[in-house]
Amino acid sequence: MATPLTSLVGVRHPLVQTGMGWVAGPRLVTATARAGALGILASATMTLPRLREAVREVKSRTDAPFGVNLRADAQDAADRVTLLIEEGVRVASFALAPSRELIGRLKDAGVLVIPSVGAVRHAEKVAGWGADAVLVQGSEGGGHTGQVATSVLLPQVVDAVDIPVIGAGGFHDGRGLAAALCYGAAGAAMGTRFLLTRESRVPDAVKARYLAARVTDVTVTTKVDGLPHRMLRSDMVAALESSGRIASLLRAVRHAAAFRKQTGMTWAAMLRDGRALRHGKDLTLGQMLLAANTPMLLKAAMVDGRTDTGVMAAGQVAGLIDDLPTVAELVENCVEQAAALLTGPAARVTAPGTPG
């Protein structure tokens, strides 16, 4: 299924596995690349040495293209860009809009730049700065999210920019891929759907929580780090929602200390990242430290299997998923279903006045 995305990146299918923190490691990315889709390695929770190891691990297992997701506002973003260039990574994916300078460095080195955005104006900005494609996520998507649904946001972005657009938020099968292509997108990206595959490193007990979820079991809260975050309802989310300012501050300090130990970051760097994550607003020390809540609360569930002390980022499609295919099965089924819908009998519409 050839599209501008497959031509640009060199993959066989217009599907993207998003860079989910603690989830999108070498095993999942390798399986995605081998299946012919674009796998994105999540790097925000990795140290620089661990990121280099992870990149080399994927490269040792497949020669297919893959990408690495970066925090554009991270203090060491420039060092991570250097690493991608040195290691010959095909795609640099960004969770926030990267600077013009970072885009320029990557493009000069032959690395494709695909930022993720949640608004038309952000897509226009990165396109103007030279981004090769843009991934646009509607409010249905898991993790940090906006307020505009994919069905409204995606066609707006497609009309606004002249680079390939990848739709995300609410997709989990071939019907979603076909819909994204019909909106004018060059492909579809999925997070929760790839999380719920056999190659995903998420503990089985946590996967079971996702599979049992209904659409109404997915909610949005600002109590993790102050930003809207879509996740599964749980006792932990309820506790976060009801906690007061002192409890939130103590939790933020504890998680910040744990995140510092995990990543090797300094306190000063974490505070700068916390401020950058919130777009430079005038914030208290506690509010900036809250930025460390997200990775550590996610790690508790996604790595340690502790759903009682962690949170589970989830797109609304979690309520529609009830199986755990291999990545190869998922990609093949999505592409076959989309192709059948776009070219098969189900796609044929009788014109007005034509005998049935």
* 274-299 residue pLDDT tens: 555 555 454 455 555 666 667 888 99
Identify the pLDDT of residue 280. Answer: 47
* 229-248 residue pLDDT tens: 999 999 888 988 887 666 66
Please tell me whether residue 24 adopts helix, strand or coil conformation: coil
Tokens representing 186 are 């060059």
Identify the pLDDT of residue 249. Answer: 64
* 93-134 residue pLDDT tens: 998 889 999 999 999 999 999 999 999 999 999 999 999 999
Please tell me whether residue 163 adopts helix, strand or coil conformation: coil
Question: Any idea what the Cα angle at residue 293 is, between residues 25 and 262, rounded to 5°?
Answer: 50
Each domain of the chain, given as residue ranges in start order, spans: 4-200+325-347, 204-302
Question: What is the value of pTM for the model shown?
Answer: 0.89
Identify the pLDDT of residue 347. Answer: 63
* 126-183 residue pLDDT tens: 999 999 999 999 999 999 999 999 999 999 999 999 999 999 999 999 999 999 999 9
C-alpha 58/C-alpha 50 separation (Å) is 12
Q: In one letter, which amino acid is 43?
A: S
Architecture of domain 4-200+325-347: Alpha-Beta Barrel (3.20)
Tokens representing 81 are 């860009």
Whether 190 contacts 16, CB under 8 Å: yes
Q: Identify how many contiguous H helices and E strands the chain contains and give both numbers.
A: 16, 11
